[in-house]
Structure 1
Amino acid sequence: MIARGALAGLVGGLVFGAAMAPLGMLETVGSIIRVESTISGFAVNLVIAAVIGGVFGLLMNGQDPRARQTVLWGLVYGAFWWFLGPLTILPLMLGRPVAWDLGSAQALFPFLVGHLLYGAVTGLALAALMPAGPKFRQREGIGPAMICGVAYGFAAWLAVELILRPLVADGRLDWSPTYARAAAGALPAYLLGGAAALGAITLMRVLRRALFTDNIRLLREEGVGPRSVRATGHGALAGLVGGLVFTLVMLPLGLLPIIARLVGGDSTGVGLLVHLVIAQIIGVSYALLFRGRSFDHASALGWGVCYGFLWWILGGLTLLPLLLGAPPGWNVPAMVAAFPSLIGHLAYGGALGIVYYRLESRVSPWWISRNRLEESRTEQGRLQTLGSAPALWTVTVLIALTVPLLLSG
């Protein structure tokens, strides 16, 4: 796996070098060996790419070998090396302090795009080189598919808006923060479009089997009606708890009177009531979309936080402005202004996921022993960990916390 990873990393390094050379960024890489030229930088880049590609191959040993999984993990790996390389190791090697401040990170935004491109290409190349391992038969739900769509929407935004569009329009790449800010207005559309597309595809697959059928084979004997009623109640309760957590963010920011305007009010009390009702409705939707997908507290937190981010885009930046008679907040100033609300949505999603998991984990049909239930959950959780779920959680948090800050003026 190390050799395959090194070869895949070399492919990613070639693409990274070809993209960064016209931007004049390879001279910075060449400064590692005290020769600031494009040629030396390209050579050093290939060596580094092969080495860290070998590490990536080692880390991916035993994981699901399908391209989707390796590409998502590649994006995570590329972002990790952006932080570890240009922001940390490179400045230290040049006798400078680490670039952990916002201004330095914004100046190095082109390197972030390059590292994400490197990671995605390396992931694709590794998937092509990996042997066909054991089949992962875990059935994906609608909710996880929507989160996967968000990650793919982000990748599509990078590919179309930051690579293809400038190449077609000007014949060159432009990964400057200024250009990225201009392209950021399209990002919510890509994220929501990806979520809607994969969600719809998975919904059609699910309808062929049975709506909301559990992923755990041992629970299939329980009827759809009892499962859906129970999930609705648990989702409403979990959403209420998440809404109360979100309130801790909304109160200091004075957001509740804005929510009250949805029903023609303007008081904090009315806003709180409307907010909690909305929180329960979203909680019910989470229960129906993600039921049977959380096998421990980590996965519950991961799916919940991702769902909270999706609702920041769908609700905070899109539906809320539209319902109040304003255009969607699909621009950098609106995203930056809504950043505190993003923290609240992530906190809401985390609490929602954890509480819902705790409620559902207590349910065991009388005809199934506790040991058999736990064995099934453990196996499904193992398959989820070996698949793309942890990468999806990480990519979503990366988008949620990094992009609005790096694109702020």
Structure 2
Amino acid sequence: MKVLLVNTYDRGGAANACIRLHLALIDAGHTSHLLTLNKTRDDIPFHFDYECFTGLEGGNILNRVSHITVDGVHEYKTQDIKDICTAASKYTDVFSSIYSDFRIENAPQISEYDVVNLHWTSRFLNWPTFFASKSIKRVIWSLHDMAPFTGGYHYGDGFEGYKTDDSNPHFLRQTSDPDFAKKLLLSKQAILRSSDIPIAVISLSNWLHECAASSTLFKHYPIKRIANSVDTETYRYMDKRESRKHLGLPEDKDIVLFVSDSVNNKRKGFHLLEKAIIKANDSRIMLCSVGKNLNSSLPEVHDFSEVHDEDKLALIYSAADVFVLPALEDNLPNVVIESLCCGTPVVGFNIGGMPDMIEDGVNGRLAKDISAEGLLASLFDVLNNGVSKTSGQISQNARNTYSYSLQAEKFNLYFDDLKKNKLYRKP
């Protein structure tokens, strides 16, 4: 099998998941190439940036186009579309259009791949031209959020318009066109209906599988749940005392760990963790944070800032007593898998893909209430009473569940099944 994996960036949560699948496929003997818009790292084999892969210069197509027709009827200035997306992103996590300056499908070698595996492709994938391509044999879309099957929003914040027509979402009401998501969803439907490319979907979590299967756009496509993987040689159980000694962390503290690309991303819930620790008023607790943009009023915080060295990150997980991710919406966060593989129990809310990974009372706790108080109760429970599995057992179970080899095997079986049964329906 020859696969092209496509992701906008080569860093971040979706990028890490994509890269790990790429490495897993290579380890399994497949030919896998990774395409990202730009390259910021040189440690990934068979990794290409857009200009190197396509032979085309960086995008400037939309910058030369003054107007775009959305849903086949409504005409917008290109700048207006960008302004709507920017404005909507202030009220929801991220909002993206289907338009891009880049033309992945014009790469001369695109027809050589058995499958193009799309990941997080916002601002990189131009839907109208990509899905009109006659050179792409098959697409498998790995969902990292809701954006591929919605009218542009990556997380709904309770809005479920993707099940019908995406009319009037609350996060567009302050923009110049409150009905833009509906029009964008209509455009997606028209584009996919006219495409001859067989499309299938991979969902990382049960939650997102249910969302995609109930969506207007993707409910007709085959959907398979295949979880992310991690390098289980890196993320493994290590002695807590030795890990703390190596990192210069105190032995007499209850270390609570929070990890996110951006600590101040409200969706990740750091503000609730901060409130919980303030309410605890416990001098034993020390917060450690990994990620950019930490701004905390807590008296004792060890800020590791951004950590790109995965060996160091595994040490940080191993040094913690508990990892807390109080996300309000999330798919299948890599950081939870990483923590469990290191044997550190996890506390979070019963949302999204969290219950796929956290077995309440066994390898962590799922807070009953989405609040600082609910979070604190579960945090104290783990710190004071522990969980039923030992750190070694948590690690072994997670490493068996989220290995490279298992993910590559499931991906290959899905690809073979799609070819054999020719599962393909249009929306």
Pair in the same fold by TM > 0.5 = no
Higher helix share: 1
**TM-score, with length taken from structure 2:** 0.23
**TM-score, with length taken from structure 1:** 0.23
Higher strand share: 2
Flag the structure with more relative contact order, 1 or 2, with Cα contacts below 8 A and sequence separation at least 6: 1
